[in-house]
């Protein structure tokens, strides 16, 4: 849909979750169920063109693991994915091969990995903290503490790479608290339990997020919240084009 909520177009005829635009805005990756043998189904990554055409699985054969929450590299050659409980991998777009993210030769434990705009950094959720690593696995991991008592989900670098947007889900909460981490400080956006699965607009001035099956947009400072999705719809996981 358009950024103001108009012009909604259905792209698929089956269930899809956690869509992610490629950086050239030509393709969308998302997770969906895939048959993987007799009476077996796994969660895998499917890719379509921006108009819904040319749909295909990102890998020629099903992964033995459920893989979810795709995020493209800026050059379009890789898609980061997460497999429960804490396995993060890079999927080669050309071959479909999966490689576990490593630092110093050791598997990195975390969830929801995502590139920055340069493709040189990866941010991920590490329990109650954020983890930042070089995409080539060098230089160790920088840890940023999240709010006390919260489990970090869906971190995203801002377009300028200076901030990290994320949700912190508290025990018993139906929604997350939306935060921005910048220069060692955390800023709560709006109210507690505002929403989760948030996305930066390409100019960094707006944020779209999910709340109770509805999509909202607000200014990057948490002000001027506007519902974008229709009341009769159940929508989730918004993602702006780049």
Give the domain ranges of the chain.
16-100, 109-242
Rounded Cα gap, residues 149 and 136, in angstroms: 31
In the structure encoding, which two tokens stand for residue 232, read together? Answer: 């009769």
What fold is seen in the domain 109-242?
Neuraminidase (2.120.10)
Rounded Cα gap, residues 240 and 208, in angstroms: 8
Tens place of pLDDT per residue across the chain (242 aa) = 999 999 999 999 888 899 999 999 999 999 999 999 889 999 999 999 999 999 999 999 998 889 999 999 999 999 999 998 899 999 999 999 999 999 999 999 999 999 999 999 999 999 999 999 999 999 999 999 999 989 999 999 999 999 999 999 987 777 899 999 998 899 999 999 999 999 999 999 999 999 999 999 999 999 999 999 888 888 999 999 99
The total of other beta-carbon atoms located within 10 Å of residue 225's CB is 17
Please name the helix (run of DSSP H) or strand (run of DSSP E) that holds residue 106, with its range, or none. Answer: strand 106-107
In terms of phi and psi (left: phi > 0; alpha: psi -120 to 50; beta: otherwise), the region of 137 is left
Please name the helix (run of DSSP H) or strand (run of DSSP E) that holds residue 152, with its range, or none. Answer: strand 150-157
The residues, ordered by sequence, that sit 6+ positions from 103 with a Cβ below 8 Å of its Cβ are 133, 137, 138, 139, 140, 141
Say if residues 155 and 180 touch (Cβ distance below 8 Å): no
């Amino acid at each position: 849909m358009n950024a103001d909520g108009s012009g909604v177009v259905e792209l698929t005829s089956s269930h899809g979750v956690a869509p992610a635009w490629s950086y050239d805005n030509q393709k969308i990756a998302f997770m969906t169920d895939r048959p993987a043998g007799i009476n077996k189904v796994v969660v895998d990554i499917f890719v379509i063109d921006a108009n819904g055409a040319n749909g295909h699985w990102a890998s020629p054969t099903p992964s033995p693991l459920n893989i979810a929450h795709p995020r493209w590299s800026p050059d379009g050659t890789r898609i980061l994915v997460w497999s429960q409980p804490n396995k993060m991998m890079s999927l080669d777009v050309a071959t479909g091969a999966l490689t576990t993210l490593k630092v110093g030769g050791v598997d990195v434990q975390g969830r929801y990995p995502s590139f920055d705009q340069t493709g040189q950094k990866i941010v991920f959720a590490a329990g109650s903290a954020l983890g930042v690593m070089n995409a080539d696995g060098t230089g160790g991991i920088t840890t940023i503490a999240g709010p006390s008592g919260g489990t970090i989900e869906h971190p995203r670098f801002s377009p300028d790479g200076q901030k990290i947007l994320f949700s912190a889900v508290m025990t018993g909460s139906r929604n997350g608290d939306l935060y921005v981490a910048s220069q060692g400080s955390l800023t709560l956006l709006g109210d507690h339990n505002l929403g989760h699965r948030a996305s930066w607009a390409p100019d960094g001035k707006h944020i779209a997020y999910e709340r109770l099956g509805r999509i909202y947009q607000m200014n990057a400072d948490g002000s001027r919240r506007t519902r974008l999705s229709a009341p009769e719809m159940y929508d989730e996981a918004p993602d702006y084009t780049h």
